[in-house]
Amino acid sequence: MPKVHIETDDLTIDVDKGFPLIDMCEDHDTSILFGCRDGACGACMIRVKGGDENLSKMSEDEEDFLETMAAEPGERLACQCKVYGDITIEVSE
Protein backbone atom coordinates (compact mmCIF):
# COMPACT_ATOMS: atom_id res chain seq x y z
CA MET A 1 0.00 0.00 0.00
CA PRO A 2 1.57 3.35 -1.05
CA LYS A 3 2.41 5.93 1.61
CA VAL A 4 1.99 9.67 1.09
CA HIS A 5 4.16 11.74 3.40
CA ILE A 6 3.18 15.43 3.59
CA GLU A 7 6.22 17.20 5.07
CA THR A 8 4.27 20.42 5.64
CA ASP A 9 1.91 18.60 8.02
CA ASP A 10 4.38 15.95 9.31
CA LEU A 11 1.72 13.43 8.29
CA THR A 12 1.96 10.05 6.55
CA ILE A 13 -1.16 8.49 5.04
CA ASP A 14 -1.59 5.01 3.52
CA VAL A 15 -3.62 5.00 0.30
CA ASP A 16 -4.72 2.41 -2.21
CA LYS A 17 -2.71 2.21 -5.44
CA GLY A 18 -4.18 4.66 -7.99
CA PHE A 19 -5.90 6.74 -5.30
CA PRO A 20 -6.37 10.44 -6.19
CA LEU A 21 -4.50 12.89 -3.93
CA ILE A 22 -7.52 15.20 -3.84
CA ASP A 23 -9.68 12.43 -2.33
CA MET A 24 -6.99 11.61 0.22
CA CYS A 25 -6.82 15.28 1.28
CA GLU A 26 -10.61 15.48 1.57
CA ASP A 27 -10.58 12.37 3.81
CA HIS A 28 -7.82 13.72 6.11
CA ASP A 29 -6.94 17.05 7.69
CA THR A 30 -4.13 18.38 5.45
CA SER A 31 -2.85 21.84 4.59
CA ILE A 32 -3.30 21.23 0.85
CA LEU A 33 -6.12 23.48 -0.34
CA PHE A 34 -8.40 22.95 -3.31
CA GLY A 35 -10.34 25.60 -5.21
CA CYS A 36 -11.52 23.26 -7.97
CA ARG A 37 -11.12 19.70 -9.20
CA ASP A 38 -10.08 20.32 -12.80
CA GLY A 39 -6.61 21.88 -12.59
CA ALA A 40 -7.66 25.42 -13.39
CA CYS A 41 -6.98 27.44 -10.23
CA GLY A 42 -3.57 26.43 -8.84
CA ALA A 43 -4.61 26.44 -5.16
CA CYS A 44 -3.42 22.85 -4.70
CA MET A 45 0.13 23.36 -5.98
CA ILE A 46 2.50 20.93 -4.30
CA ARG A 47 6.22 20.28 -4.53
CA VAL A 48 7.16 16.61 -4.97
CA LYS A 49 10.20 15.98 -2.77
CA GLY A 50 10.48 12.28 -3.52
CA GLY A 51 8.80 9.55 -5.51
CA ASP A 52 7.69 11.65 -8.49
CA GLU A 53 7.84 8.49 -10.59
CA ASN A 54 5.06 7.10 -8.35
CA LEU A 55 2.53 9.75 -9.41
CA SER A 56 0.31 9.64 -12.46
CA LYS A 57 1.79 11.12 -15.62
CA MET A 58 1.27 14.85 -16.04
CA SER A 59 -1.42 15.65 -18.61
CA GLU A 60 -0.83 18.23 -21.31
CA ASP A 61 -3.44 20.49 -19.68
CA GLU A 62 -1.67 20.32 -16.31
CA GLU A 63 1.68 20.95 -17.98
CA ASP A 64 0.29 24.01 -19.82
CA PHE A 65 -1.30 25.39 -16.66
CA LEU A 66 1.88 24.94 -14.60
CA GLU A 67 3.84 26.72 -17.32
CA THR A 68 1.36 29.62 -17.15
CA MET A 69 1.81 29.70 -13.35
CA ALA A 70 5.64 29.75 -13.76
CA ALA A 71 5.86 26.59 -11.66
CA GLU A 72 9.27 25.28 -10.73
CA PRO A 73 10.49 21.77 -11.60
CA GLY A 74 8.91 19.23 -9.26
CA GLU A 75 5.70 21.20 -8.72
CA ARG A 76 2.37 19.56 -9.52
CA LEU A 77 -1.33 20.17 -9.04
CA ALA A 78 -2.53 17.76 -6.35
CA CYS A 79 -6.01 17.66 -7.89
CA GLN A 80 -4.51 16.02 -10.99
CA CYS A 81 -2.33 13.38 -9.26
CA LYS A 82 -3.00 9.73 -8.53
CA VAL A 83 -0.64 7.81 -6.25
CA TYR A 84 0.99 4.55 -7.42
CA GLY A 85 3.81 4.26 -4.86
CA ASP A 86 5.43 6.06 -1.94
CA ILE A 87 5.76 9.83 -2.31
CA THR A 88 6.89 12.78 -0.22
CA ILE A 89 5.30 16.15 -0.90
CA GLU A 90 4.97 19.60 0.62
CA VAL A 91 2.69 22.56 0.00
CA SER A 92 4.24 24.97 -2.52
CA GLU A 93 4.54 28.55 -1.37
Distance of CA 40 to the CA centre of its chain: 14
pTM: 0.91
- Give the mean pLDDT of 33-57: 88
**pLDDT level of residue 12 (50, 70, 90 thresholds):** very high
Instruction: Provide CB contacts within 8 A for 19, sequence distance 6+.
Output: 2, 82, 83
Facing residues of 75 across strands?
47
Alpha-carbon span 71 to 75, nearest angstrom: 6
Query: What proportion of the chain, given as a percentage, has pLDDT over 90?
Result: 84
